[in-house]
Structure 1
């Protein structure tokens, strides 16, 4: 299983909110489409391209502020589709980027510490074990 590192607050918006489109400057490799992936929160937060009107929706949910944990696996998702921006995937899709569509997102009850990497990366056996033990009954 592969992991994808995403900066905060976007990783939380996927794990705990309604964000189901990840914006990337490159297309998702076709071999990963339809696969379950791990959502990893980067060590650093995103400091770019966040309009001020996005803050309330991104940083809060119906129970308050999201945890903003860093350098952890937060969730599991299925990467279902990838297409270049065509004025779609609102409100999360950004103009001029590839939209990676996610489905079946399951937030982990206990985030798993892990060091991330650019692009897709392979977690260690210990990290995968810590994730899978939390997800009994989930199809991988």
Structure 2
């Protein structure tokens, strides 16, 4: 199982809100489409983040608990990837000129699982995967 690191508040908007599009400058490797991935909240925040006013972000902006940083906070299925060339698809979360990665079946974890992230897809330890999936399903993998 792979993890994807996303800066706050975007990771929180995925885990606890309605954000189901992750904007990236690169296409999803096809081997990851249709797989479950761990959503990792980066230690750093996106200081330039402007959340869409009409979007449900789940929590008040700026009130994200410190435990929700540098931790696995959700599990999701990565189902699709397409490039937005001015189509204004995936509103309000999709950005023009980026690849849109579609996330479905998002499950927020009741307790964040501390983990150091990395760029791109990365392989968490078996202990981290099990700690996250136990919360999602009640069963270790």
Q: TM-score, normalised by structure 2?
A: 0.86
Query: How much has 1:57 moved relative to structure 2?
Result: 4.9
Provide structure 1 residue ranges, at least 5 long, that are not aligned to the other structure.
none
Taking a change above 3 Å as real, the CA distance of residues 121 and 14 of structure 1, as seen in their structure-2 partners, is same
Q: Does the aligned pair in 2 maintain the 1:4–1:38 contact within 8 Å?
A: yes
For 1:54 and 1:70, how far apart are their aligned partners in 2? 23
SS in 2 for 1:26: coil
Q: Does the aligned pair in 1 maintain the 2:17–2:58 contact within 8 Å?
A: no
For 1:52 and 1:102, how far apart are their aligned partners in 2? 18
The farther-off stretch of 121-130 and 19-28 is 121-130
Paired residues, what number? 136
Taking a change above 3 Å as real, the CA distance of residues 71 and 51 of structure 1, as seen in their structure-2 partners, is closer
Query: How much has 1:52 moved relative to structure 2?
Result: 6.8
SS in 1 for 2:137: coil
Partner residue in 2 for 1:109: 110
